[in-house]
């Protein structure tokens, strides 16, 4: 073992024994308190770290900001958490009571990040192509014209299924026809002279012509 290692070990043992001796001479205090934000007394700081630099003990504030730990007079405490500045506090010496209670207000910190500009293109060379070929969305007037286009409305009408009321009426008509001819054979329209006469008359008058065909 080298001289440097022996000296380091001796120094560590000496400092530890010195701190232990000094700690025995000091008074033990139950240190408690609540952490608040300095910008609002109604805002507590939960899950903050309370570190005793003299003894190495650590306490964590609960969801209401309350903390408690055992320490000695003259100990140096640090309060730290994300979003707030670290605050130092030294327990006063000569405190007569065995408990010390205090509220602490931590100042919030703000970090200004540098400006970041996000582009939808991988490089500047892609911008001219995107500027020329990107489709421009329609405005409200153009969308209204497309929705009221007769061809578009006709296609919607053809694709639309039958109305429930019409279907129900058709089923009821078929059922009534079935009841009307109940117990006898249904008539055949191919042998109905009046039906043939009406069909020929309608055919001559052009009733079955396609109006769109010229």
Does 19 have pLDDT greater than 90?
no
Contact partners, residue 83, CB within 8 Å, separation at least 6: 108, 109
Q: Tell me which of 183 and 24 has the higher pLDDT.
A: 183
Class of domain 3-106 (CATH, top level): mainly beta
Whole-angstrom distance, CA of residue 89 vs CA of residue 75: 8
Give the pLDDT of residue 60. 92
Whole-angstrom distance, CA of residue 209 vs CA of residue 130: 52
Does 24 have pLDDT greater than 60?
no
Domain residue ranges of the chain, discontinuous segments joined by +: 3-106, 113-182
Does 17 have pLDDT greater than 70?
no
Sheet holding 84-90, edge to edge: 58-60, 49-52, 76-81, 84-90
pTM of the model: 0.43
Give the pLDDT of residue 11. 52
Whole-angstrom distance, CA of residue 25 vs CA of residue 22: 5
CA dihedral 28, 33, 35, 41 (to 10 degrees): -150
Least confident of 8-17, 76-85, 94-103, 197-206: 8-17
| pLDDT above 90 as % of the chain | 20
Whole-angstrom distance, CA of residue 155 vs CA of residue 144: 16
Q: Tell me which of 12 and 155 has the higher pLDDT.
A: 155
DSSP 184: S
Burial annotation 104-117 (CB, 10 A radius, 16+ → b, else e): bbbeeeeeeeeeee
Does 78 have pLDDT greater than 90?
yes
3-state secondary structure of 43: strand
């Amino acid at each position: 073992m080298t001289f440097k290692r022996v000296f380091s070990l001796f120094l560590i043992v000496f400092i530890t024994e010195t701190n232990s001796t000094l700690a025995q001479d000091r008074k033990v205090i139950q240190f408690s308190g609540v952490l608040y934000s300095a910008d609002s007394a109604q805002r507590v700081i939960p899950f903050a770290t309370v570190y005793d630099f003299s003894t190495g003990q650590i306490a964590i504030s609960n969801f209401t900001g309350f903390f408690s730990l055992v320490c000695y007079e003259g100990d140096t405490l640090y309060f730290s958490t994300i979003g707030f500045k670290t605050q130092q506090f030294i327990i006063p010496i000569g405190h007569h009571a065995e408990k010390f209670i205090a509220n602490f207000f931590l100042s919030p910190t703000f970090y200004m990040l540098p400006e970041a500009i996000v582009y939808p293109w991988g490089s500047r060379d892609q911008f001219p192509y995107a500027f020329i070929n990107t489709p421009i969305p329609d405005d409200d007037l153009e969308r209204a014209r497309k929705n009221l286009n007769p061809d578009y409305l006709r296609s919607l009408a053809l694709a639309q299924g039958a109305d429930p009321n019409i279907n129900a009426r058709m089923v009821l008509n078929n059922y009534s026809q079935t009841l009307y001819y109940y117990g006898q054979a249904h008539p055949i329209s191919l042998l109905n002279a009046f039906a043939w006469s009406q069909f020929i008359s309608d055919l001559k008058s052009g009733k079955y012509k396609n109006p769109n065909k010229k």
